[in-house]
Amino acid sequence: MRDFLLLVLLLSGIPLRGFAQKPQPPNVLMICVDDMNDFIGGMGHPDALTPNLDKLIRNGALFTNAQCQSPMCSPSRAAIMTGLRPSTTGIYGFIDDNLVKETNEATRKTVFMHQYFKDSGYYTMGIGKIFHEHAPDGLLDESGGRVNGFGPSPAQPFHWKKKGTSTDWGAFPEKDEQMPDYLSAQWAVERLNRTYDKPFFLTVGFLRPHVPWYVPQKWFDLYNPDKLTLPPYLKADREDLPAIALDIDELSMMPTTEWAIENKQWKNIMQGYLASLSFVDHYIGEVLNALEKSPHAKNTIVVLWSDHGYRLGEKGTFAKVCLWDRATKAPLIFSGPGIPQNTKIDAPVELFSIYPTLTDLCGLNSAKNLEARSLYPLLKQPKAKWFHPALSTWGRNNHTVKTREYRYIRYEDGTEELYLVKKDPNEWENVAYQKKYEKVKEELKQFLPTTNVKWAAASQYNVNDYFRKQKREQSEETPQK
């Protein structure tokens, strides 16, 4: 009857006084950045020039202790898009975007984040790296295209020529316009200048600062390598680690910290990373400035995240892929209507909580079959008590539990690491085998996943003997359904 009366009034031209129209749900602008750690000015780095990220932090809420669910692009992004842990999906390594949905029963039951918003009446758009490559075919209403490599490369690498990685650093190419991230930003800016008859969900996936650390010379010129601050490093750091930790972290294709010291390249690597970070900060800024000038500015939720952190000499190497904080911690920022400004939230949280948090912020019904927990309560009350630890997984049955006080790592063979977060933020002293911490470990063990499915057949990671052996041995088990 109400809808009939509204129609009569509309046709008659009578003002709709007393008939409050339901406000349109907020739009969503999601910006995902590849391999960006916390070397950001607004997160406390002394050298980083990141004015646009810093402004977004001032305008919103920064989670300073956000932990990825796996320290590599593909499994981390699969977790974010499905709301499921790697230990539930078996996605521990690379996987084709089009194969994620049919990985196992759990992934078949869940609904991808973008599909859920589409089903809820949103117009979905995206460009660049969202899942591992771009997005499953047909998921987006409008696609700007997949990632084809990480941008132009010189005929020969500048410094690092080992196979198995695109790691290298140097000023290249000549112009920003030659970079994929430039094109992604322009595509997104054009979409923000449009008008829409329904709420939109726009995702922009930026590539830098993923290796190779190639950006034009003007971005390198922002940093004098001789004046850069190097990350904390302890040469004997790895001496108290269990053997399996060393096996997992055997990365012969990557530069080691000792190599960088001996060859006087550490500060040059830092220059390359920070130059790449300032480059992508600029194009993030172009997108955010377009939103600010658009008619959508006051009704758009912005969420910016990186898929994991990155080691720049800490723990002996230049890489992600480990269960220590330098690889598992990543930036996570929310801003927009209803979100507190200039707020930092220190509670340990999980990146794959982005999905249920966005549905809450947009006033949608909660999606079913998710393992992720919404961060909406913390956005409403940033100082509220938070009793939930953050979990990360690297390979099958290797997990870390992060709380405010501890980082606990347990490997598939039962060996352990334990770090006192406040006393030892660099995680240099493994106290797992000190008797006085037995009770602490028992309490933290209660949070480990009880489900640890075998590697999904379509998920691959053949970087070293450990992962090749784990995948081979577990592929001989009864196939999962």
Statement: residue 2 has pLDDT above 50: no
Statement: residue 5 has pLDDT above 80: no
Statement: residue 473 has pLDDT above 90: no
> Is the residue at 470 inside a domain?
no
Calpha distance 342→108 (Å, rounded):
39
pTM score, whole prediction: 0.94
Beta-carbon contacts of residue 86 (< 8 Å; ≥ 6 apart): 69, 70, 75, 78, 79, 92, 393
At residue 480, the pLDDT reads 52
CA dihedral 214, 459, 202, 376 (to 10 degrees): -110
Would you tell me how many other CB atoms lie within 10 Å of the CB of residue 141?
15
**Total structural domains in the chain?**
1
Q: What are phi and psi of 273, to 5 degrees?
A: -65, -50
Instruction: For residues 370-389, give the mean pLDDT.
Output: 96
CATH of the domain at 67: 3.40.720.10
Statement: residue 171 has pLDDT above 60: yes
Statement: residue 3 has pLDDT above 50: no
pLDDT (tens digit per residue) in 247-281: 999 999 999 999 999 999 999 999 999 999 999 99
pLDDT (tens digit per residue) in 395-437: 999 999 999 999 999 999 999 999 999 999 999 999 999 999 9
Calpha distance 107→454 (Å, rounded):
14
Instruction: For residues 321-325, give the mean pLDDT.
Output: 98
> Is the residue at 455 inside a domain?
no
* Pair type for strands 66-67 and 349-350: parallel
> Is the residue at 146 inside a domain?
yes
Whether omega before 337 lies within 30 degrees of 0, making that bond cis, reads no
The amino acid sitting at 176 is: D
The beta-strand segments (E) located in 75-219 are 123-128, 142-143, 169-171, 200-206, 213-215
The beta-strand segments (E) located in 1-67 are 27-33, 60-63, 66-67
At residue 149, the pLDDT reads 83
At residue 148, the pLDDT reads 76
> Is the residue at 459 inside a domain?
no
CB-CB contact of 140 with 128 (8 Å): no
Statement: residue 13 has pLDDT above 70: no
pLDDT (tens digit per residue) in 92-150: 999 999 999 999 999 999 999 999 999 999 999 999 999 999 999 999 999 999 877 89
Statement: residue 479 has pLDDT above 60: no
Q: What are phi and psi of 289, to 5 degrees?
A: -65, -35
> Is the residue at 232 inside a domain?
yes
What is the share, in percent, of the chain residues with pLDDT greater than 90? 92
pLDDT (tens digit per residue) in 183-242: 999 999 999 999 999 999 999 999 999 999 999 999 999 999 999 999 999 999 999 999
Question: Hey, which residues are catalytic here?
Answer: 73, 132
At residue 8, the pLDDT reads 42
CB-CB contact of 109 with 123 (8 Å): no
Statement: residue 61 has pLDDT above 70: yes
Domain of residue 34: give its range. 27-380
What is the share, in percent, of the chain residues with pLDDT greater than 70? 94
At residue 14, the pLDDT reads 46
At residue 153, the pLDDT reads 94
At residue 301, the pLDDT reads 98
Instruction: For residues 441-453, give the mean pLDDT.
Output: 97
> Is the residue at 420 inside a domain?
no
> Is the residue at 370 inside a domain?
yes
Q: pLDDT band for 24, please (50, 70, 90 cuts).
A: confident
Statement: residue 48 has pLDDT above 80: yes
304 forms beta bridges with 31, 333
At residue 17, the pLDDT reads 45
Handedness of CA 159, 161, 162, 167 (dihedral sign): positive
> Is the residue at 447 inside a domain?
no
At residue 21, the pLDDT reads 55
* 208, 230, 375, 442 from 320: Cα distances, Å: 14, 17, 25, 28
pLDDT mean across residues, the chain: 94
Q: pLDDT band for 339, please (50, 70, 90 cuts).
A: very high
256 forms beta bridges with 317
